[in-house]
């Protein structure tokens, strides 16, 4: 869902016994990522990858922040690993029959959830094209809610991105159905990621609006209403 310059995305995960609700909030200069309800029945350790790439130059870090290759990362419980790692392309490319060894010096940043986590969570931000000093300071937005029912971020200019996993209320705003929203001074942008709803009703400062949601090939796309 997007107003053309900012966006909100959501991913509900249930794969191989691992469940999670993941929200992504895209501001002009930062990405905020929230994860809630992280639960696993698998006997294997569970981790969220913040980024994994080839190491390029120096790495700087401080309390709850890491900077590498022009990108800043902020968040608690982040685990940094670097060094040469080896592998074989045969395990990724099913058509390969001969050994295809590879190795690279990697930068890997993760959040460790341990084995069989129950309702674990994470919050971190990513600042592309930034400096270590700006990373240490952090982006201008802030997290308003981080639960299994609601994830919300206030962007630097005061606009609010919100993911409602069920009908609910955030401040003076409420929705009759689950959805993804961007709330600005004069507008509410909304989308139904399930692409199943025909309409939803939102209320702001006591004023109610019913939004007709797109169907067919446009199902799940963004609609807007003025308040």
- Rounded alpha-carbon distances, angstroms, from residue 205 to 64, 73, 103, 186, 201: 37, 36, 57, 12, 14
- Rounded alpha-carbon distances, angstroms, from residue 215 to 191, 195, 199: 11, 7, 10
- The distance between the two most distant Cα atoms of the chain, rounded to a whole number of Å, is 67
pLDDT in tens, 152-170: 999 999 999 999 999 999 9
Q: pLDDT at position 72, please?
A: 99
- Measured between alpha carbons, how far apart are the two ends of the chain, in Å? 19
Q: pLDDT at position 131, please?
A: 98
Q: pLDDT at position 190, please?
A: 98
Superfamily covering domain 166-227: Polysaccharide lyase family 8-like, C-terminal (2.60.220.10)
200 burial (CB, 10 Å; 0-12 / 13-18 / 19+) is buried
* Domain residue limits, the chain: 7-139, 166-227
Query: 7-139 has which CATH code?
Result: 2.70.98.10
CA–CA distance, 118 with 64 (Å, rounded to integer)? 23
H or E segment to which residue 132 belongs = helix 132-137
Per-residue pLDDT of the chain (227 residues; tens, 9 = 90+): 999 999 999 999 999 999 999 999 999 999 999 999 999 999 999 999 999 999 999 999 999 999 999 999 999 999 999 999 998 888 877 777 788 899 999 999 999 999 999 999 999 999 999 999 999 999 999 999 999 999 999 999 999 999 999 999 999 999 999 999 999 999 999 999 999 999 999 999 999 999 999 999 999 999 999 99
């Amino acid at each position: 869902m997007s107003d053309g310059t900012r966006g909100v995305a959501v991913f509900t995960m249930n794969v191989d016994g691992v469940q999670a609700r993941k929200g992504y909030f895209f501001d002009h200069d930062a990405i905020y990522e929230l994860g809630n309800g992280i639960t696993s029945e698998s006997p294997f350790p569970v981790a969220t990858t913040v980024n994994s790439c080839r190491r390029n130059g120096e790495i700087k870090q401080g309390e709850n922040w890491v900077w590498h290759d022009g990108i800043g990362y902020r968040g608690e419980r982040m685990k940094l690993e670097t060094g040469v790692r080896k592998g074989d392309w045969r395990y990724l490319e099913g058509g390969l029959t001969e050994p295809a060894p590879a190795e690279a010096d990697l930068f890997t940043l993760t959040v460790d959830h341990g084995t069989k986590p129950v309702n674990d969570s994470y919050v971190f931000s990513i600042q592309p094209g930034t400096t270590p000093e700006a990373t240490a300071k952090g982006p201008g937005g802030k997290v308003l809610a981080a639960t299994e029912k609601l994830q919300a971020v206030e962007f630097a200019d005061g606009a609010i991105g919100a993911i409602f996993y069920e009908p609910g209320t955030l401040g003076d705003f409420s929705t009759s159905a689950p959805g993804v929203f961007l709330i600005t001074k004069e507008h509410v942008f909304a989308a139904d990621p399930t692409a199943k709803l025909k309409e939803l009703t939102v209320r702001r400062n006591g004023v109610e609006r019913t939004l007709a949601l797109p169907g067919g090939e446009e199902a799940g796309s963004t609609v807007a209403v003025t308040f």
